[in-house]
Amino acid sequence: MSDHGSGPADVLATYKRELLRWNSQMNLVSRRETARRVDDLVRQCSAACAVLLEHERREGRDIASGSLLYCDLGAGGGLPGFVWHGILSGQITPVQSLLVEPREKRAWFLERAARLYGPDTYRVLQGRWGDVVAPDLEPASTALISLKALRLSDLDVLQGLASLGVSTAPPPERVVIARFFPEDATWSPELARDLAVVGPGEVAGRWQGCGTSALPVAAGDHTPMRLLVSTYDRDNS
């Protein structure tokens, strides 16, 4: 597995082959129509990243305007983490990517996927969010955090970020939390409010909430998704 010198399309094709190769042993994605499902999920993740970046630009909060720390929580087989890392690292400099996965086998697979980009591209942290640490992180102006299947409140996400290892540097100016929600899943503005932290001072005085947005993601042949995006600014009071 050595596509280090290949272009993005070749890296992605090799990743999908590896995902299919190891899926039967690790149950990384559905075992029903697996090849088609993987293609669909990759398209969906790519579309979601494009939707998020465009939303941020429209709101005047361009993620690409400074340094970025990207964390994918419960990264599983690397969706969206692997795909988003590839897109973000191609558009934003510098970007630090962390894929957090508690299960040992899946973390091992993510380490294999990391080699597709070559050495020192993204890091895999095995453990649960809030327990893992990365003390050698560089300061970042924005932290972007994605969750696909993991249900954590924004408070849990922000507390985990505060304990990740960034305490040795100024907290990011902004935090963007992006969740994937199936279009047909039970979703409501009330759920959005339950997940979000309302008001300043809830996370050791670090960040205060700026609101949430539900963004439609129309891509692939399977269930459409919403991307639920919460944004927070650093509380400098």
Domains contained in the chain, CATH given: 40-234 (3.40.50.150)
Give CA–CA dist 101/126, Å, rounded: 5
Those residues whose C-beta lies under 8 Å from the C-beta of residue 167, and which sit 6 or more positions away, are none
Q: Does the pTM exceed 0.85?
A: yes
| DSSP helix/strand/coil, 66 | coil
Q: What is the pLDDT of residues 187-218, one digit of tens each?
A: 566 666 666 654 444 555 578 777 778 888 87
> Cβ of 147: how many Cβ atoms within 10 Å?
22
pLDDT band of residue 163 (cuts 50, 70, 90) is confident
> Cβ of 122: how many Cβ atoms within 10 Å?
25
Q: Residue 79 gets which letter from DSSP?
A: T
Q: What is the pLDDT of residues 89-109, one digit of tens each?
A: 888 878 999 999 999 999 999
Ordered strands of the 225-234 beta sheet: 122-126, 95-101, 68-73, 142-147, 174-182, 225-234, 207-217
